[in-house]
Structure 1
Amino acid sequence: MKTKKVRQVPSYTIDASLDRFSGENLFPEQLKRANEAISKYGLPKEYYLSQGITPPDSNS
Protein backbone atom coordinates (compact mmCIF):
# COMPACT_ATOMS: atom_id res chain seq x y z
CA MET A 1 0.00 0.00 0.00
CA LYS A 2 1.26 3.47 -0.83
CA THR A 3 1.39 6.06 1.88
CA LYS A 4 0.19 9.55 1.26
CA LYS A 5 2.77 12.27 1.73
CA VAL A 6 1.76 14.99 4.13
CA ARG A 7 2.53 18.50 2.94
CA GLN A 8 3.80 20.92 5.46
CA VAL A 9 2.24 24.36 5.11
CA PRO A 10 4.62 27.17 5.97
CA SER A 11 3.41 29.34 8.80
CA TYR A 12 3.69 33.08 8.58
CA THR A 13 2.31 36.12 10.28
CA ILE A 14 1.54 39.50 8.79
CA ASP A 15 2.66 42.47 10.81
CA ALA A 16 -0.42 44.54 11.68
CA SER A 17 1.63 47.74 11.66
CA LEU A 18 1.79 47.49 7.85
CA ASP A 19 -1.91 48.38 7.67
CA ARG A 20 -0.94 52.05 7.73
CA PHE A 21 0.36 51.68 4.17
CA SER A 22 -2.94 50.31 2.88
CA GLY A 23 -4.30 52.44 0.05
CA GLU A 24 -1.17 54.60 -0.05
CA ASN A 25 0.96 54.97 -3.16
CA LEU A 26 4.51 54.31 -1.97
CA PHE A 27 6.25 54.71 -5.33
CA PRO A 28 4.52 57.50 -7.33
CA GLU A 29 7.40 58.06 -9.79
CA GLN A 30 7.61 54.39 -10.76
CA LEU A 31 3.83 54.15 -11.06
CA LYS A 32 3.77 57.16 -13.37
CA ARG A 33 6.50 55.68 -15.60
CA ALA A 34 4.76 52.29 -15.70
CA ASN A 35 1.43 53.86 -16.68
CA GLU A 36 3.13 55.89 -19.43
CA ALA A 37 4.80 52.76 -20.81
CA ILE A 38 1.52 50.83 -20.77
CA SER A 39 -0.30 53.65 -22.55
CA LYS A 40 2.47 53.94 -25.15
CA TYR A 41 3.24 50.26 -25.80
CA GLY A 42 0.24 48.43 -24.37
CA LEU A 43 0.22 45.22 -22.39
CA PRO A 44 1.88 41.99 -23.56
CA LYS A 45 -0.14 39.84 -25.93
CA GLU A 46 -0.05 37.00 -23.39
CA TYR A 47 -2.05 39.12 -20.95
CA TYR A 48 -4.92 39.52 -23.39
CA LEU A 49 -4.86 35.85 -24.32
CA SER A 50 -4.88 34.76 -20.67
CA GLN A 51 -7.94 36.96 -20.08
CA GLY A 52 -9.71 35.42 -23.06
CA ILE A 53 -9.89 38.67 -25.06
CA THR A 54 -8.49 39.59 -28.44
CA PRO A 55 -5.29 41.66 -28.26
CA PRO A 56 -5.38 45.04 -30.00
CA ASP A 57 -3.62 45.43 -33.33
CA SER A 58 0.09 46.05 -32.69
CA ASN A 59 0.53 47.87 -36.02
CA SER A 60 -1.30 50.99 -34.89
Structure 2
Amino acid sequence: MLERTDNPGRFTRGLAAAVIAVTALVLAANAGPTPGADPSRTRHTPQVGPVTAPSAQTGVR
Protein backbone atom coordinates (compact mmCIF):
# COMPACT_ATOMS: atom_id res chain seq x y z
CA MET A 1 0.00 0.00 0.00
CA LEU A 2 1.21 3.52 -0.73
CA GLU A 3 2.31 5.70 2.14
CA ARG A 4 1.02 9.21 2.62
CA THR A 5 3.55 11.95 1.76
CA ASP A 6 4.50 14.21 4.63
CA ASN A 7 3.46 17.87 4.51
CA PRO A 8 6.96 19.42 4.40
CA GLY A 9 7.80 17.28 1.37
CA ARG A 10 4.62 18.33 -0.42
CA PHE A 11 5.31 21.97 0.42
CA THR A 12 8.87 21.73 -0.88
CA ARG A 13 7.82 20.15 -4.18
CA GLY A 14 5.04 22.69 -4.64
CA LEU A 15 7.38 25.59 -3.96
CA ALA A 16 9.98 24.19 -6.37
CA ALA A 17 7.33 23.79 -9.08
CA ALA A 18 6.16 27.39 -8.53
CA VAL A 19 9.70 28.76 -8.79
CA ILE A 20 10.32 26.81 -12.00
CA ALA A 21 7.02 28.03 -13.49
CA VAL A 22 7.75 31.68 -12.68
CA THR A 23 11.27 31.37 -14.09
CA ALA A 24 9.92 29.89 -17.33
CA LEU A 25 7.35 32.69 -17.65
CA VAL A 26 9.95 35.41 -17.06
CA LEU A 27 12.31 33.89 -19.62
CA ALA A 28 9.50 33.57 -22.17
CA ALA A 29 8.40 37.18 -21.61
CA ASN A 30 11.92 38.46 -22.19
CA ALA A 31 12.39 36.51 -25.42
CA GLY A 32 12.26 38.83 -28.38
CA PRO A 33 13.54 39.23 -31.90
CA THR A 34 17.24 38.93 -32.46
CA PRO A 35 19.22 42.17 -32.77
CA GLY A 36 20.03 41.36 -36.41
CA ALA A 37 16.39 41.34 -37.50
CA ASP A 38 15.87 43.86 -40.29
CA PRO A 39 12.27 45.12 -40.41
CA SER A 40 12.77 46.67 -43.86
CA ARG A 41 13.08 43.17 -45.36
CA THR A 42 9.53 42.25 -44.34
CA ARG A 43 7.72 44.55 -46.74
CA HIS A 44 4.53 43.38 -48.39
CA THR A 45 4.74 42.65 -52.08
CA PRO A 46 2.30 44.49 -54.35
CA GLN A 47 -0.52 42.58 -55.99
CA VAL A 48 0.46 41.18 -59.37
CA GLY A 49 -2.06 40.88 -62.18
CA PRO A 50 -5.09 42.78 -63.40
CA VAL A 51 -7.53 44.15 -60.88
CA THR A 52 -11.13 43.38 -61.79
CA ALA A 53 -14.41 44.64 -60.40
CA PRO A 54 -16.06 42.38 -57.79
CA SER A 55 -19.13 41.90 -60.02
CA ALA A 56 -16.95 40.58 -62.84
CA GLN A 57 -15.61 37.81 -60.60
CA THR A 58 -19.02 36.55 -59.47
CA GLY A 59 -20.79 36.83 -62.83
CA VAL A 60 -23.49 39.16 -61.40
CA ARG A 61 -24.36 42.19 -63.51
Q: TM-score, normalised by structure 1?
A: 0.30
Larger helix percent? 2
Q: TM-score, normalised by structure 2?
A: 0.29
Larger radius of gyration: 2
